[in-house]
Amino acid sequence: DTGVSQNPRHKITKRGQNVTFRCDPISEHNRLYWYRQTLGQGPEFLTYFQNEAQLEKSRLLSDRFSAERPKGSFSTLEIQRTEQGDSAMYLCASSFSITEAFFGQGTRLTVV
């Protein structure tokens, strides 16, 4: 296991389309986080899973966003009816403790 893996790396979609991103965390990590990063800014928290339970969601996560982590393994983040403002880097991180988080390479979403 070489780290957190995210797919796809890049996604270009037309406004109004739905997109889904996948995150495969480090295998022994029970904590999984999604963040969003726009150009020139630090990442912002979106949501947190402990095993399969989604325990926290940010106000940034509108009703067009949904995240799942079935069986506490990989996670998916879906955005419905994409808008241009959704264009960003979507980052997944996993951890075993609250003091260290390891990030994937991210999925760059461009909505045209």
List residues near other proteins by CB under 8 A.
4, 6, 31, 33, 35, 40-45, 48, 50, 55-56, 91, 93, 95, 97-106, 108
Cβ nearer to other proteins, comparing 80 with 96: 96
* Closest distance of CB 41 from other proteins, Å: 6
Cβ nearer to other proteins, comparing 28 with 81: 28
Phi, psi of 86 (to 5 degrees): -80, -10
Q: Which of 101, 62, 96, 98 is nearest to 79 (CA)?
A: 62
Could you tell me the two tokens for 91?
């980052």
The b/e string for 79-111 (b: 16+ C-beta within 10 A; e otherwise) is: beebeeebbbbbbbbbbeeeeebebbebbebeb
* Closest distance of CB 16 from other proteins, Å: 26
Cβ nearer to other proteins, comparing 79 with 93: 93
